[in-house]
Each structure stands twice: as C-alpha cells, then as structure tokens.
Structure 1
Amino acid sequence: MTRSTATAGDLPHLITLRDLAPAQILGLLDRAADLRQRFAAGPAPTALLDGRTVVNLFFEPSTRTRTSFELAARRLGATVVNFDIASSSTSKGETLEDTLATLEAMGCDAFVVRHKENGTPARLARHARRAAILNAGDGNHAHPTQGLLDALTIRDAKPRVGDLRVVICGDVRHSRVARSDAEVLAALGVRQIRLCGPAPLLPDPADFPGCALHDDFDEAIAGVDVVIMLRLQKERMASAMIADERDYYARYGLDPARLARAAAGAIVLHPGPMNRGIEIADEVADGAQSRILDQVANGVFVRMAALATLLDR
C-alpha cells in the first residue's frame, strides 16, 4: 500500500470511522506516522496547539486511552483538564449539555468523551457551539482512535494491506473496538475480515457488512495475517453468555499452538486490558509476533494526529 498524500479534510468532530472517507482515514494515519517520525529521536514538544484547552470527560474507567490522550495534547502544547466526574455538577443533576456549554464558555476547545451509553459523544457534538468532540469510546458503538491505531500498527507490519486476511476473535457483540476495527479495515480495502466467538457473543451480521462470522476459532484463524484478540466485556454481558472461563480459553484462547495455524509471520493485536489465560497466553502476548506494545505507543501519535487535525484550523 502506498503512502497517501491526502489530508484528513475538514473534520469538526471525530465520532465514528464510519463517517470518514478512505482519504480522510489515510490522512490521519499519515499524519500520525509523520508525528511519530518527528518524535523518534526523543520528546520534541511542539506549540501546534499552544493556547488550546483539551478537556478529558471520562465517565468510564480508563488507563490507556485517557493517558494517551493527555500525553498527546500536552505534546502538542495544549492545556489539559481532566474533568472530575465524581465531584462535578453532573452528580447534582446537571445535564451533559449544560456541562458542555459551561466549559465551552470558559474557552475550552476540545472534549475527549468516554461514556457507557451509545451515542453520547454524537449527542454532545450536536450541541457543541464551537468545540471539537472526540469519541474515546461509547458503549459498544465506536472507538475511532483505537481503530486508527490498530490500522497504523497493522500497516507498519504489513504494508500490503489489500492482501491481508484478518480475524477478530472474542466478544465481538459487545465490542466497540471490533466495530471500529472492522470499519477502518474495510475502508483500507483488506482482503477478508473474519469475526469469531461463541454464538452468543457474535454480532448481527447486518452490523458488520462484508465480514464472515465463525464460531470455530481453529477454522477462523487458519491462514490469516493478523489476529486481533478482544477482551471479554464482562461489564456489558450476562454471565450466562459463556459456560466458564476455562472452557472459553480452550475454545477461543490464543496460545502458541493455535497461532501456528495462522500464516507465517502473522501478527497479534489486543486493545487491552488483557485477561491472560482467558483470551491470550503469556507466550503469545509477550512473544515475537505480538504487536500489543506497538499499539500502545501508536495510540499517542494517532491521538496527536486527531487533535491536531480537529484543532489546527
């Protein structure tokens, strides 16, 4: 795949990758790669967003996403406000729209939003007067920057994206990561996307057009170039959806023997946090084919690219 010269275009918000044209996606990936190259020799603070204020509005726990968004904003020279939900006026009944309007009136320029309910970032985007809204994950709907960082990680290792076969395995039904990954991979023109998991954790095929559904992991992983493992979304599903964790690992866990069924040189991704011994074996998570820490590193640059594109007008 050749490097695109396209820009991300005029993006007022980043809510879902489904709304983006392939050229916009390529523009964001290329900008992230360029920022990564600029910082390769060590931290190189830039004043690109000097004078801008980015607010992290996280209504769900997060380590990787919140930290990488904060690092991304600070590296671009922005002021970062980590909004304390527990002690905010939302706990007193203030609506999200009023909270947004109040913070906008204080001069805040962007809001990074994570929420358990589908559609919350889009809802805020409709009410924003001038600020940019970035979706850091809403319910099981979308996680666009995770999709972008996964795409960047895959493209780094496998530049011929159009030739790739990819399997996404685990709790696909409840996974916003799976949705955003499928959207970005389809936009980049991957050859085949396979979705695998126990039948109760597989999605409605209409939600993933063009993807093949499997409930046999040994069959689904055969010959693939990329394996994306998903965390069991225990907080979003009934315990009855899987018999027990030991049985789940036996059928859907990624261990060295099962990984050997993939194509030679296949890479392994996981959005984290990992449930080791349930979704993935230590030997795979820490092995030579793992690109999990590359995903984490790329997350900062993808979020820098997103913030820069939305705020550097």
Structure 2
Amino acid sequence: MINSTIISYFTLAAYVDSGLLRYLFFMMLLSLYLLIVCANVLLIVVICMNRSLHEPMYVFLCSLFVNELYGSTGLFPLLLVQILSDVHTVSLPLCFLQIFCLYSYACVEFFNLAVMSYDRYLAICCPLQYNTRMTHRKIIALITVTWIYASVVCLIPLAMIVPLQLCGNIINKVYCDNYYIVKLSCSDTTVNNIYGLAATSFIILSPVSLIFFSYLRILKVCFSGSKQTRQKAVSTCTPHLLSLLNFSFGAFFEIMQSRFNMDKVPSLLRIILSLYWLTCQPLFNPLMYGLNMSRIRIICKNLFFA
C-alpha cells in the first residue's frame, strides 16, 4: 500500500542556488513587474477617463489590460519572494490561490481575444448594423460571462484535487501548477486527467474556432472590398493577431512541458518557456496596442507632452 501524508506546503524545486546573482534576477523581475503594472494601468486610465474611447473595441481592450494586471499579480509577488528565499516552499492555500489566478488568467485571455475578434468581425463585415448588434448591454454581458466562466472552470479542478491523497510535495516548477499536484497523488486521478484534458481542449478550441470564423469572414470582405476597407482591417486586426500568436506560442510550450517529458531540455530554458506566457503577454499587449492604435497613441502623447 502506498503511504500518503498530510501535506501543508509544497516545495518549488525548479529554483537553483544562484548566489549573489539572485539579487540581479530580483531587480530584473521587479523592474519587469513595475513596467507591466505602469503600462497596463496607464492604458486603463486613458480608456476610462476619455469618453471618446468608450467604444466596444476599447472596452474589451480595457478588460484585457485588467486581466494582464491580474495574471501578473498572481505570479510576480510570490516569484520575487522565492528568488530571495533560501527555502522555496509555499503553503497549501497560497499554492491553490496561485493556481486559480494563473489558470483563470489564461482562460480569460483566450476568451477575451475571441470576443475581440467577434467585435472586429461585426465592425468590418456588418458596419451598418454594428451599433445595434454590439450594444452596451451586450458588451457588459460578454465581459461578465468571460470572467465568470473562467472562474468556474478553474475552481472545478481545484475542488477535485482537495480530496486527493498526496505522496509528495515537490513541484518541479517556479510556481504552483495543478497538473504537477495531480501527478503527486496516490489516489486514482483518472477523473482529474479527463477533466483537465477536456477543459484545456474546450478553453483552446472554442475561442480559436470563433477567431477562425471571424477572420475568415473578415478576409472574405477584404478581398471583395475597397482599399479603404482592407486598410481598416489591417490596422485594427494586426495588434489582435500578434497578441493571439504571442499568447498561443507561450501557452503551447506550457502545455507541452506539463504533458510530456522535457528532461532533455536544459532546466534554464524550461523555466524561461514556462514563464513566457505569464511575463511577455502582459507587457506585449499594452505596448502593441499603445503603439499601433493611433487614438490611444495620440491621447498618451498629449498626456505626457502637452
């Protein structure tokens, strides 16, 4: 019979003793976190304080920037503490809280990007009906459903791992991960694995299908439309597509690491790839949208250089 123990904390085993370099890593990550916070807060304030930006596209952008702040705060504070610590442990409740924050962040990100693609589809393919089809009530409903759905989907796997009997407490990552905790279990985890696979597939395939449909219709209109229509589509869709590709790239490597044996990959590279989707996306989005969308760029320029 396999022995199980009552686990009160987990050890994050991916951290290595870097000596004095830990202070350099700490300063680098702290600077990155502060930059992410400042960039996202700035754009949230700009959108909220300017009535000219109270349009569906910018409201969805505001939701996206709030999610970047949420996901970053779920990662960086604990990461910074662990870098300076000699004992890389995290309590059970804090570990579960981080899992919920990071998983719900990823879910909201995917569905928010899908909603934004639907908004662009209506704006480009149905311009005369846009205001009647994308009402304020519908905007609030889409954002609310996105956040509530993400919370429910991510609470279920947490509820499923609570009763599991664990035979270890070592997580070979720099942050808590639900799948790694499931692998520590002595209990039958068939239901956990099935739900995890089904939820991951649905979270990815549902928004990707909506995005694919939206851009298929947008491309059809672009090929048959005027030059002005094509320019409008390119200017509004390029940041969205780049954001989607950037996040998908990071999420793909994170799923690969969780589901397959990556021991042959250098540990430092594994750490960088596991952090990519949680660090680059929150910085990439405000910079990409801030620089590419002329109305936001002009307002920010007037704010700082007026």
Report the TM-score when normalising by structure 1.
0.26
Choose between structure 1 and 2: higher strand proportion: 1
Choose between structure 1 and 2: higher helix proportion: 2
Report the TM-score when normalising by structure 2.
0.26
